[in-house]
Amino acid sequence: MKGDILGGRYQLDDRIGGGGMAWVWRAEDTLLHRAVAIKVLREEFAGDEAFVRRFRQEA
């Protein structure tokens, strides 16, 4: 995932942490040219609607 661009503007730099259902990445907002943190749902939970719903509530 490192180097990937999410949402057409957030370039993932380094994974800086994570929990049970998601990873947190340091990223660059290529539109505003500033560092941001991006929370990304782990792939193994992406197909489970209950996890997706919970993830969206936390975000």
Residue ranges of domains in the chain, CATH in brackets: 5-58 (3.30.200.20)
Sign of the Cα pseudo-torsion (42, 48, 54, 59, in order): positive
Q: What is the pLDDT of residue 22?
A: 92
Q: What is the pLDDT of residue 20?
A: 87
DSSP 40: E
User: Could you tell me how far CA 45 lies from the centroid of its own chain?
Assistant: 13
The answer to whether residue 54 scores a pLDDT higher than 80 is yes
pTM: 0.81
The answer to whether residue 59 scores a pLDDT higher than 80 is no
Q: Is 11 helix (H, G, I), strand (E, B) or coil?
A: strand
Give per-residue pLDDT as tens, 11-41: 999 999 998 889 999 999 999 999 999 999 9
Rg (CA), the chain: 12
Q: What is the pLDDT of residue 1?
A: 87
* CA 59/CA 21 separation, integer angstroms: 12
